[in-house]
Amino acid sequence: MSGDSTETAHPKFRISLRPDGIVYLTWAPGVAIGVEDAVAATEAIAGLGGGQRVLALICLGEGSTQDRPARLEFSRRDDLVTAAALVVRTPALRVMGNLFVNVNRPKTPIRVFDDEASAIAWLQEFTP
């Protein structure tokens, strides 16, 4: 954790609260995301949200993978997020993102994007 209480560093991800209120989660390249990492990320999201549901911008690191228990944990914690945008930079990550959306079927609105600008524009549609 840095001196700024709105940012958290973890060995596999960085998470912060942007000035516009969007939670920004970036996974490191090449990490294997397990259930322990998913729990750590969801706890960090909950902490940044302060008990409120948030909009989440999630950037998957190139070459990263998720195991099934991690995907189930992310799907289970739909109480934390109003909407989530997954930003992917490779075809393999797009497959992984679409697999998560189509197989786990989270109750929270979620979409896969190729760039952050489009993802942020979509998330802002959920701002009251």
Quick one: average pLDDT of 91-98?
Answer: 76
Quick one: average pLDDT of 73-99?
Answer: 84
CA distance 24 to 85: 10
Share of the chain above pLDDT 70, in %: 92
How far, CA to CA in Å, does 103 sit from each of 93, 97, 107, 108? 15, 10, 12, 14
For the stretch 10-21, pLDDT in tens is 999 999 999 999
The domain spans of the chain are 7-123
What's this model's pTM, rounded to 2 decimal places?
A: 0.87
Quick one: average pLDDT of 53-77?
Answer: 88
Amino acid residing at 45: I
Indicate whether 4 pLDDT > 70.
no
How far, CA to CA in Å, does 44 sit from each of 10, 30, 90, 127, 128? 10, 21, 26, 21, 23
Class in CATH terms, 7-123: alpha beta
Q: What is the DSSP letter of 65?
A: E
